[in-house]
Amino acid sequence: MLHLPPVVCLVPAALSILASGFAAAEDSPAEDALRATFRINKGASSGTGFIVAVGDRTAPATRRHVLVTAAHAFENMKAADCTIVLRAQGKGGALVRKEITVPIREGQKPLWVRHPEMDVAAIFVAVPDGVDLKPFEYRQLADASWAADRKIRVGQKVYIPCFPARLEANPAGWPILRSGSIATHPLTPLAAAKTILVDYPEFGGDSGAPVVTCDGKEPVVVGLVAAMQRQTDKSTTPFEERTVHTPLGLAIVVQSPFLRETVDLLVKK
């Protein structure tokens, strides 16, 4: 997937957003989703990843952080490591950019786990002290009952924290919060709807972004952005052959039970 040159947009990271769907101010699932989401990059490849906490919250020694993203994001990065753009406390109370290097290969061996069927990957990461992070808890990855009980359904509004075309909300590296709606019906049975469509214009750099809805005062991940849906047209004349790809403004999204399965594979490994 091609990516545009880096662009930084000096706009606030925030989050006046959400009269419909997300709570505001002191209880903001939108802000929680942003605080769990980070840009990952290496060379010309850039994507989005989010942190999931596993282990017992009451037993800190058991807690570990898992970075979840699209598998092709790691596969396109041919180096032994990648960069994650975190945010940390700076002078005057402002959050500032803090980039860390994370190993993703040992020789030719990937250090991440890939789902056996779906474009999802997970890897353990060590998050430095002082980083602003509110990870998704494992329980905030929606299981199959969400679709079965119609807690997610066609037409439902969702939010996507992401980095389209490498765009960051500000120099500290906050994601852009975008919105759309679930465009696929039905969402069950899961075996027949492993991926669904979300009505929002996906760009290169969005791969791996969480697709989030709200459950009370917290965000719940219902999927992961994997690709762009597009129309391909070919034309042939005696002197020219042309192929034109037209984006349809739809994202292909892996349903969240497969994210759970990927995290489970990593933990068991």
Task: Give residue-wise pLDDT tens across range 177-188.
Answer: 999 999 999 999
Place of tokens 């892996």: 254
Compute φ and ψ for 74, nearest 5 degrees. -70, -40
The reply to whether 96 falls in a domain is: yes
- Residue 231 is encoded by which pair of tokens? 């129309």
The reply to whether 183 falls in a domain is: yes
Look at the chain and report how many structural domains it folds into. Answer: 1
Read off the CATH number of the domain in which 219 is found: 2.40.10.10
**Does 44 have pLDDT greater than 70?**
yes
In terms of Cβ atoms closer than 10 Å to its own Cβ (0-12, 13-18, 19+), residue 129 is exposed
- CA distances (Å), 258 to each of 61, 99, 114, 116, 194, in order? 27, 29, 11, 10, 8
Q: Can you give the pLDDT at residue 216?
A: 85
What mean pLDDT comes out for the span 224-239?
Answer: 82
The reply to whether 22 falls in a domain is: no
The reply to whether 227 falls in a domain is: yes
18: pLDDT confidence band, cut at 50, 70 and 90? very low
The reply to whether 10 falls in a domain is: no
Q: Are strands 45-54 and 64-69 parallel, antiparallel or unpaired?
A: antiparallel
H helix runs in the chain, sequence order: 29-35, 71-75, 144-148, 257-268
Q: Can you give the pLDDT at residue 263?
A: 98
The reply to whether 174 falls in a domain is: yes
**Does 30 have pLDDT greater than 50?**
yes
Q: Can you give the pLDDT at residue 60?
A: 81
238: pLDDT confidence band, cut at 50, 70 and 90? confident
- Residue 66 is encoded by which pair of tokens? 């898992």
Q: Can you give the pLDDT at residue 230?
A: 64
- H or E element, residue 123: strand 121-125
Q: How far apart are CA 202 and CA 253, in angstroms?
A: 10
The reply to whether 23 falls in a domain is: no
Q: Are strands 45-54 and 136-137 parallel, antiparallel or unpaired?
A: parallel
The reply to whether 4 falls in a domain is: no
* Structural domain span for residue 180: 29-268
